[in-house]
Amino acid sequence: MSLYWKSKTLLAKLQPTPGVDPVPTNVLNGMLVRNLSVRPMNGTDVSRELERQHYGAQQMFPVGLHVVASFELELVGHATRGTRPAWGDIARACGLAEVATPGTSVVYNPVSSGHSLATLYFAHAGFRQIITDCRGTAVLRVNANSIPVMAVTLTGLYQKPTDTAGIIPTVTAFQAPMPVTKTNTPTFTINGVACVMRNFELDFGNVVQPRMLVGAEEVVISDSNEAITTQIEAVPLATLDPYALAANQTSFAVNLVHGVGSGKIVTINAPTCRMMRPETIANEQNIVEWPLRITPLPNAGNDQYTLSLT
């Protein structure tokens, strides 16, 4: 019997206790994702390296086994304003704290300790793999004429896949997204200047490391190095001067608002940024554009950026 490639589904649930599967359910924890890819048995192969008198391969032992899952989530909040989105557990596992104010907003910001865990159930063509103790990183992408996404990479502990009946998840908690257009993305500013933007990325920059030791196996977020990249239409330097901002290391804010209507608005705010050296100039449709690299820095700490859903 053939096993069909497109038969892929994912469940995800916050995991309160290390090493304990919280048992995601099809009804509550189904994930609506795209570009789902899983490396089911990552690790290292250790050779015996025996000395002998003849040629031939050495026996290898797999060690440090872990799983890496990558996928994209559409960047849109819950239909009810102030209710955490269906992908909230994933955001928590990517090193973010979550504050939900019913009827008002859900706000995420990076934290330096106490990172949450998640468990994934990945089903593919009649197989199922349970991936516990996941932590990861993500990139927010808001590019013109496309669907805004959170591109996620999660790393978790290995368990052998099993033959298991397919998962049919409930994904009704996910709203349809709004494409990135002039109408749907009303605000993009750098240093208070409204910019014509082609693309935007905020990379969480989490350093995610499996620690496979005697007495403990875990995945940790050991550091972060956030980065913003964007490409905007060039303007007179009297309006916005990225060269002076880079040379003088002047602090400035980046603000992006996408979405129209209650429950559909996503705001990305990085209040304390520094410009990196502009290294090139782009020709797009015979129009001058600036590819820019921006570093969102902490001020009081854990405030490099916020992701707000309203």
For residues 216-225, average pLDDT: 98
Whole-angstrom Cα distance, residue 166 to residue 26?
Answer: 10
pLDDT tens for 3-37 read 787 889 999 999 999 999 999 999 999 999 999 99
Beta strand 105-110 with 287-296 is unpaired
pLDDT tens for 57-95 read 999 999 999 999 999 999 999 999 999 999 999 999 999
For residues 269-287, average pLDDT: 98
For residue 142, count other CB atoms closer than 10 A to its CB. Answer: 22
pLDDT for the residue numbered 4: 81
pLDDT for the residue numbered 304: 98
pLDDT for the residue numbered 193: 98
Torsion of CA 14, 17, 20, 26, to 10 degrees: -20
Whole-angstrom Cα distance, residue 154 to residue 117?
Answer: 10
Tokens of 34: 């795209």
For residues 194-206, average pLDDT: 98
pLDDT for the residue numbered 165: 78
pLDDT for the residue numbered 111: 98
From the centroid of its chain, how far is CA 204?
Answer: 7
pLDDT tens for 137-182 read 999 999 999 999 999 999 999 999 999 877 889 999 999 999 999 9
pLDDT for the residue numbered 117: 98
Burial of 160 (0-12, 13-18, 19+ CB in 10 A): exposed
Non-local CB neighbours of 247 within 8 Å, separated by 6+ positions:
none
pLDDT for the residue numbered 125: 87
Phi-psi region at 55: left, alpha or beta (left = phi > 0; alpha = psi -120 to 50)? beta
Whole-angstrom Cα distance, residue 279 to residue 271?
Answer: 23
For residues 213-231, average pLDDT: 97
> pLDDT-derived band of residue 235, with 50, 70 and 90 as boundaries?
very high
pLDDT tens for 92-148 read 999 999 999 999 999 999 999 999 999 999 999 889 999 999 999 999 999 999 999
> pLDDT-derived band of residue 38, with 50, 70 and 90 as boundaries?
very high
For residue 229, count other CB atoms closer than 10 A to its CB. Answer: 16
User: What secondary structure letter does DSSP report for 90?
Assistant: H
Whole-angstrom Cα distance, residue 293 to residue 272?
Answer: 14
pLDDT for the residue numbered 1: 66
Phi-psi region at 86: left, alpha or beta (left = phi > 0; alpha = psi -120 to 50)? alpha
pTM of the model: 0.96
Nearest to 304 by CA among 155, 203, 195, 164: 203
